[in-house]
Amino acid sequence: MTDVKAVLSHALGLPERVLELTGSTPLLGNLPELDSMAVVTVITELEEQFGFVIDDDDLVSDAFETLDTLTLFVKQKLPPEV
């Protein structure tokens, strides 16, 4: 979750505010900075940070519902650990 918070902090330019986010904090509709253009920025930064590609078919708004759902989305995109 910390790495996902760091991506949100950088992408949205909210270093102090992002520190206050918990797993159940709503993202879309709660953070005014997280508009449709910011979602694209967050997706790009997640891809760069974690080294995976998010296909258009994988994108669902549910992933951006809370910090927990976004973290779960990222975990599901990561390759399985050996």
Q: Among the listed ranges 1-5, 24-28, 38-42, 64-68, which one has the minimum average pLDDT value?
A: 1-5
Whether 50 and 77 have beta carbons less than 8 Å apart is answered as yes
Fold for 2-77, please state it.
1.10.1200
In the chain, where are the structural domains located? 2-77
Tens digits of per-residue pLDDT, 28-66?
999 999 998 999 999 999 999 999 999 988 888 899 999
Please report, for residues 5, 51, 72, the alpha-carbon distance to residue 20 in angstroms, rounded to integers and kept in the order given: 10, 26, 19
Whether 53 and 47 have beta carbons less than 8 Å apart is answered as yes
User: Which pLDDT does position 10 carry in this prediction?
Assistant: 93
